[in-house]
Structure 1
Amino acid sequence: MEIENLVKMANDIGNFFSSEPDHETAVAGVYEHLRKFWDPRMRRAVIQHLGRGGEGLDPLAREAIAKLSAEA
């Protein structure tokens, strides 16, 4: 899967959770979704993308991916 698609999907998930009034709960929601529903290869690819600067990732997606990265 191309990184542009993964970035778009991560941002879409972040947009879904952005209406959550508590920021930490929103980050946790994105994180949990990525952890539960994304294939490990998808998670690795987006973590690597973040490590290279994370071009195109919205702030909420960035934070959740950074949390995934810290776990990996």
Structure 2
Amino acid sequence: MSPDKMRYQANQIATFFASQPEDEQVEGVADHINKFWDPRMRAKLFEMADESTEGFKPTLVAALQKINRPGQFGSVG
């Protein structure tokens, strides 16, 4: 998947959860990505975010702290 498409897809998830109560938005984004994105997609997301979070919605940037980073000790998947 191209970086632009991945950024778009991740931001779409953040946009969806923007309709939820504020205290549930970040958790919802992280939970969705943890459940439905395979480890390769999450690894690419972190590769992009580690380089720059420019273009990512703030909710997505906040959710990165709760998304399981593939290969990280103690993470699942």
Which structure has more helix as a fraction of its residues? 1
What are the ranges of 5 or more consecutive residues in structure 2 without an aligned counterpart?
A: 73-77
1:15 paired to 2:15 = yes
Give the alignment's Cα RMSD to 1 decimal: 1.8
- Structure 1 residue runs of 4+, over 4 Å off? none
Q: Which runs of 5+ in 1 are unaligned?
A: none
Q: CA deviation at 1:64?
A: 1.2
Higher Cα radius of gyration: 2
Residue of structure 1 in register with 2:47 after alignment = 48
- Conserved 8 A contact 2:34-2:68: no
Larger relative contact order, structure 1 or 2 (CA cutoff 8 Å, min sep 6): 1
What does residue 3 of structure 2 align with? 3
Q: TM-score, normalised by structure 2?
A: 0.80
Aligned length: 71
Q: Percent identity?
A: 35
| TM value normalised by structure 1 | 0.85
